Amino acid sequence: MEKLLIEGGHQLRGTVRVSGAKNSAVALLPATILAGGEVTIEGLPNISDIDTLKLLLEDIGGTVSQVGDDVTIDSSKMIAMPLPNGRVKKLRASYYFMGAMLGRFKKAVIGLPGGCDLGPRPIDQHIKGFEALGAEVTNEQGAIYLRAEKLTGAKIYLDVVSVGATINIMLAAVRAEGKTVIENAAKEPEIIDVATLLNSMGANIKGAGTDVIRIEGTEELGGCKHTIIPDRIEAGTYTIIAATKGEEVVIDNVIPTHLESLTAKLREMGVVIEEDGDSLLVRGNRKLTGVDIKTLVYPGFPTDLQQPFTALLTQASGTSIVSDTIYQARFKHVDELRRMNAKIKVEGSSAVISGVTPLEGAKVKASDLRAGASLVVAGLMANGVTEIVGIEHIERGYDQITEKLTSLGAHIWREQMTEEDKRLFQNA
Ligand code: EPU
């Protein structure tokens, strides 16, 4: 196992290219199950969650081939193989196999999903949607069993705005008889991306990206080609990094409107950000002003950027308050940032950050994906060397992070973990 080392304090400049969106990719791949033919997805990120999903598609009889970042999945020979255990537990997005397999085969057995530990992450809204479409859903020994004689379109009001439930219901509803209406749907760009793929496969989905999505069921879907949207969270992470350490950093392959909640806050803090088509030019500022943020559903400030943004706020003057309304316990990064000398208190679902506090390199542990990103941001700003263990969490979502940061001038490298690191990792 490897750890990540960062010698902080170096100024960054150059261009970084953003990869395809992880949270789209993890839904697009299961969606290909519905095609019953060949689907090519162009621009997939090179991250471990995608590797796991490709293996899961092969487990159920799919053929997966890859040329560069383009992946072709032939789903014609797939079967409704039960997946109660094993790889499905590695990531949260395996829950999309429920909707896609239910849509295609009218049955599925899928182990309850894993993913980042951010506190309670129920899937009751997914299940409510499947049941409304006519499926019988039971939970047996940690796996969800879904079965339907037939799926029938329905009106489904989501009690909680959920990205996963909105996409999962779309996946099943495209093969239901008649019309499905999802009300109080999530509006994240990833939902539009999945709807675009499904429509290219022959589905009839209208309203994706608004809070009412209308789906007319279709008997057959087929193969197609689709280009994934850029990863707004990866783009946001590099924008945050450039906000202090960037002399002049270009973030390339972004959709600037996807990042408006972040760029507006960074401008309030004193960062100069210029948009130029599908890139952002970021000029960092060493005298940042503290701000408060509250995470919200899209287009509000994304919870997935809360952790890296918290690290940045340690370098901003005054007191800043970060409140997470989506995952109220998403603060595992705070203890690690404190090891680096950050002055942060967690009060309920908020973190109160006192700045400016010089950060010091330390041995820290990434407990989840974005906590890892937060430690990378902190390490780049700190004096001395920061050692991050638990980098497999970071590799789940950041494509070639070491290489990309090195190309900007960061001093970042990997080393094998020592026995002492392993002890720290296990006991932490
Ligand atoms: N919720 C329920 N019931 C449900 C579903 C969700 O109560 O049936 C609650 C959740 O507990 C949470 C809120 O609703 O409080 C929003 O959850 P949502 O379903 O939108 O989250 P998700 O689909 O499980 C995706 C991303 C997360 C991201 C959230 C919010 C994927 C695979 N994951 O999760 O990404 O934080 O949306 O935007 O798409 C990450 O990339 O680091 C990550 C955790």
Q: How far apart are the two ends of the chain, measured CA to CA in Å? A: 16
CA of 180 to the centre of ligand 1 (A): 22
**One domain, residues 262 and 208:** no
**One domain, residues 248 and 149:** no
Q: What is the DSSP letter of 16?
A: E
- Number of domains, the chain: 2
Q: Domain end: 227, 254, 276, which one?
A: 227
Ramachandran assignment for 240, one of left (phi > 0), alpha (psi -120 to 50 degrees), beta (any other): alpha
pLDDT tens across 111-130, in order?
987 766 766 678 999 999 99
Which residue minimizes the CA distance to atom 28 of ligand 1? 304
**One domain, residues 101 and 244:** no
Contacts of 201 (CB under 8 A, 6+ apart): 31, 34, 35, 39, 221, 222, 223, 224
pLDDT score at 205: 98
Nearest to 312 by CA among 261, 357, 273, 253: 357
Stronger pLDDT, 269 or 114, i.e. the higher one: 269
Contacts of 229 (CB under 8 A, 6+ apart): 20, 21, 24, 189, 190, 192, 193, 255, 258
Ligand 1 near 369 CB (within 6 A): yes
**One domain, residues 287 and 203:** no
CATH code (residue 30): 3.65.10.10
pLDDT score at 118: 63
CA of 118 to the centre of ligand 1 (A): 10
**Domain with 338 in it:** 2-19+230-427
CB 44 within 8 A of CB 37: no
**One domain, residues 283 and 263:** yes
Is it the case that residue 299 has pLDDT exceeding 70?
yes
pLDDT score at 113: 79
Q: Domain end: 227, 244, 277, which one?
A: 227
**One domain, residues 13 and 33:** no
Is it the case that residue 418 has pLDDT exceeding 80?
yes
Is it the case that residue 424 has pLDDT exceeding 80?
no
Peptide bond into 299 cis (omega under 30): yes
CA of 163 to the centre of ligand 1 (A): 6
SS (H, E, C) 376-425: HHHHHHCECEEEEECHHHHHCCCCCHHHHHHHCCCEEEEEECCHHHHHHH
Q: Is 224 noted as a catalytic residue in this protein?
A: no
Nearest to 306 by CA among 286, 325, 282, 285: 325
Q: How confident is the model at residue 148 (pLDDT cuts 50, 70, 90)?
A: very high
CA of 240 to the centre of ligand 1 (A): 22
pLDDT tens across 46-88, in order?
999 999 999 999 999 999 999 999 999 999 999 999 999 889 9
**One domain, residues 142 and 248:** no
Ligand 1 atom at shortest distance from the alpha carbon of 120:
11
Ligand 1 near 123 CB (within 6 A): yes
Ligand 1 atom at shortest distance from the alpha carbon of 118:
44
**One domain, residues 334 and 209:** no
Which residue minimizes the CA distance to atom 22 of ligand 1? 164
Q: In what order do the strands lie in the sheet with 179-183?
A: 155-157, 179-183, 212-216, 204-206
Residue showing tokens 């060493």? 286
**One domain, residues 176 and 213:** yes
**Global confidence as pTM:** 0.97
pLDDT tens across 339-383, in order?
999 999 999 999 999 989 999 999 999 999 999 999 999 999 999
pLDDT tens across 204-235, in order?
999 999 999 999 999 999 999 999 999 999 99
Ligand 1 near 191 CB (within 6 A): no
**One domain, residues 284 and 404:** yes
